[in-house]
Amino acid sequence: AQSVSQHNHHVILSEAASLELGCNYSYGGTVNLFWYVQYPGQHLQLLLKYFSGDPLVKGIKGFEAEFIKSKFSFNLRKPSVQWSDTAEYFCAVSDRGSTLGRLYFGRGTQLTVWP
Amino acid sequence: NAGVMQNPRHLVRRRGQEARLRCSPMKGHSHVYWYRQLPEEGLKFMVYLQKENIIDESGMPKERFSAEFPKEGPSILRIQQVVRGDSAAYFCASSYRDRGPGNTIYFGEGSWLTVV
pLDDT tens track, chain B, 116 positions: 468 999 999 999 999 999 999 999 999 999 999 999 988 888 999 999 999 999 999 999 999 999 999 999 999 999 999 999 999 999 999 998 877 766 788 999 999 999 99
pLDDT band at A10 (very low <50, low <70, confident <90, very high): very high
Set of chain B residues whose Cβ sits within 8 Å of the Cβ of A52: 101
Distance CA B109, CA A40 (A): 10
Q: Which of B29, B34, B40, B45 to mutate to test the interface with A (most CBs of A within 10 A)?
A: B45
Nearest to B98 among A49, A51, A101 (CB): A101
Query: Residue A91: what pLDDT?
Result: 96
**pLDDT per position as a tens digit, A16-29:** 999 999 999 998 78
Catalogue the long-range contacts made by B85-89 (C-beta closer than 8 Å, 24 or more residues apart): B85/B115, B86/B19, B86/B113, B86/B115, B87/B39, B87/B113, B87/B114, B87/B115, B88/B36, B88/B37, B88/B38, B88/B39, B88/B112, B88/B113, B89/B36, B89/B37, B89/B113
Residue A1, pLDDT above cutoff 70: no
CB-CB under 8 Å, B42 with A107: yes
CB-CB under 8 Å, A90 with B45: no
Cβ pair A69, A84 in contact under 8 A:
no
According to DSSP, the β-strands at A109-114 and A10-14 are parallel
Of B40, B34, B115, nearest to B74 (Cα)?
Answer: B34
Burial of A66 (0-12, 13-18, 19+ CB in 10 A): middle
Distance CA A80, CA A60 (A): 14
Nearest to A102 among B56, B91, B97 (CB): B56
Distance CA A20, CA A9 (A): 13
Of B74, B30, B24, B28, nearest to B48 (Cα)?
Answer: B30
User: Which residues between 76 and 105 in chain A have a beta carbon less than 8 angstroms from any beta carbon of chain B?
Assistant: 90, 92, 98-105
Residue in chain A nearest B42 by alpha carbon? A107
